[in-house]
Amino acid sequence: MAKNKLLNLDFLKLPITTELFGIKAKAVGLPPGTLVHVGKQKIEKPVISLVDYFQDHFDTRTDITIEDATAVKETETVSWINLSGIHDISLIELFGQRFGIHNLALEDILNTQHRPKVEEMEGYNLIILKMLFFDDTTQSIDVEQISLILGPHYVLTFQEKEGDVFNGVRERLQRSNGRIRQRDSDYLAYALIDSIVDSYFHILEKVGDNLAQLEEDLLSNPEQSTLGRIHHYKRQLMILRKSVWPLREVISELYKEESPLIREDTQVFLRDLYDHTIQVLDTVEIFRDTVSGLQDLYMSAVSNRMNEIMKVLTIMASIFIPLTFIAGIYGMNFEYIPELKWRWGYFAIWGVMISCIMGMLIYFKRKKWL
């Protein structure tokens, strides 16, 4: 339809509410700590996997039962138990019972719209973060919530679906010589968070490339769809910002916290992580500035184009309207119009007209309209 083409933003029809704003749809009046899964079910069946290691010991298992997972809790080795798929509330409840997690914490884990935060609780720390993935097809950012429970000698991670940014960590765990095998669960938690923050750089890189492309397109051919894309990236940056902004606070709290679970020699790594987080934030802010600069450019391009259009109209009208008038004069049927009888009248009038055209052209040239 003609109307649609005005902005051409068809591909933007995202459901704002659920994807962007993340509104918790918990029924009013449910007692706090009631376990309700907020969000979509993204995996068919929850899968528990385990990595158990310490120094020379290394063991990895997938699709284990909750009992297996609980068994390793008490051992002296470091255990990383990951649950992919959090829609099964009874399973989450079981985790809560076995690992002694407060119901309010479980509620936060289940609410996939939760703001990133860290909370020190009795015997463990709860850390809620967002993993971001850039979907090249829709050029938009997918958000997946990940919750970490950092306990003594174990880390629990809760993901919405399979597939994460932790493959690097898994490889390092497998290698027997890495520093990570020498250290405790706090370092493992750090390594996981570090992977998440690192993955933000990839998102930023992709968004940056897209913005560069957008700018190039804007400069070479400012179409109307460009505005749609600007609007699109503005929103992507909003999502990004919403996920990244609280991160600063999270890392800084972790870093300053006097938790017995976090050793001193991990602090220096957290401080380094904090630096990275600041860099991510800086870049997001610069991207936002850039996008709004592009929007200004676009609006200027529209104004310039309007000027262009009006110039064409004005030039055409200014040249031909007077000429038409002159022609009209000698199209009149007065009985006595002396010029009409002149032998060279017709050619003389052509001369006049051409002079008019010349005059106008010189005028427009001077005004730099041509």
Give the CA distances from residue 185 to residues 148, 163, 253, 263, in Å, rounded to whole numbers and listed in that order: 11, 22, 18, 10
Residues 6+ apart with CB under 8 A from 66: 48, 91, 94, 95, 98
CA–CA separation, 265 vs 280, rounded Å?
24
Nearer to a copy of itself, 168 or 260 (CB): 168
SS3 content of the chain, % helix, strand, coil (to 5): 60, 15, 25
| Residue from the set 271, 355, 359, 362 that interacts with a copy of itself by CB under 8 A | 271
Q: How far is the CB of 240 from a copy of itself (least distance, A)?
A: 12
- In the region spanning residues 65 to 94, those forming contacts with a copy of itself, defined by CB under 8 A, are none
Q: Which of 133, 158, 113 is nearest to 18 (CA)?
A: 113
Q: Which stretch binds a copy of itself (CB under 8 A): 12-20, 40-48, 86-94, 135-143?
A: 12-20
CA–CA separation, 197 vs 53, rounded Å?
24
Contact characters 112-151, a copy of itself, x per CB under 8 A: -xxx-x-x--------------------------------
Binding to a copy of itself by residue 108, rule CB under 8 A?
A: yes
Q: Which of 166, 164, 161, 130 is nearest to 145 (CA)?
A: 130
Give the CA distances from residue 143 to residues 113, 131, 146, 241, 363, in Å, rounded to whole numbers and listed in that order: 10, 6, 10, 12, 60
Nearer to a copy of itself, 18 or 75 (CB): 18
Question: Checking DSSP bridges between strand 47-54 and strand 57-62, what pairing results, if any?
Answer: antiparallel
Binding to a copy of itself by residue 238, rule CB under 8 A?
A: yes
CA–CA separation, 354 vs 326, rounded Å?
12
- Please name every residue paired with 82 in a beta bridge, in sequence order, or none if there are none: 49, 157
Binding to a copy of itself by residue 165, rule CB under 8 A?
A: yes
Binding to a copy of itself by residue 162, rule CB under 8 A?
A: no
Binding to a copy of itself by residue 216, rule CB under 8 A?
A: yes
Binding to a copy of itself by residue 45, rule CB under 8 A?
A: no
- In the region spanning residues 195 to 214, those forming contacts with a copy of itself, defined by CB under 8 A, are 195, 198-199, 201-202, 204-205, 208-209, 211-212
Q: Is 308:318 a contact under the CB 8 Å cutoff?
A: no
- In the region spanning residues 299 to 318, those forming contacts with a copy of itself, defined by CB under 8 A, are 299-314, 316-318
| Residue from the set 59, 68, 162, 272 that interacts with a copy of itself by CB under 8 A | 272
Site size toward a copy of itself, by CB under 8 A? 144
Binding to a copy of itself by residue 54, rule CB under 8 A?
A: no
Nearer to a copy of itself, 75 or 363 (CB): 363
| Residue from the set 32, 44, 56, 137 that interacts with a copy of itself by CB under 8 A | 32
E strand intervals along 269-309: none
Q: How far is the CB of 67 from a copy of itself (least distance, A)?
A: 28
- In the region spanning residues 325 to 364, those forming contacts with a copy of itself, defined by CB under 8 A, are 325, 327-346, 349
| Residue from the set 56, 67, 90, 220 that interacts with a copy of itself by CB under 8 A | 220
Give the CA distances from residue 150 to residues 34, 48, 82, 185, 234, in Å, rounded to whole numbers and listed in that order: 22, 17, 12, 7, 35
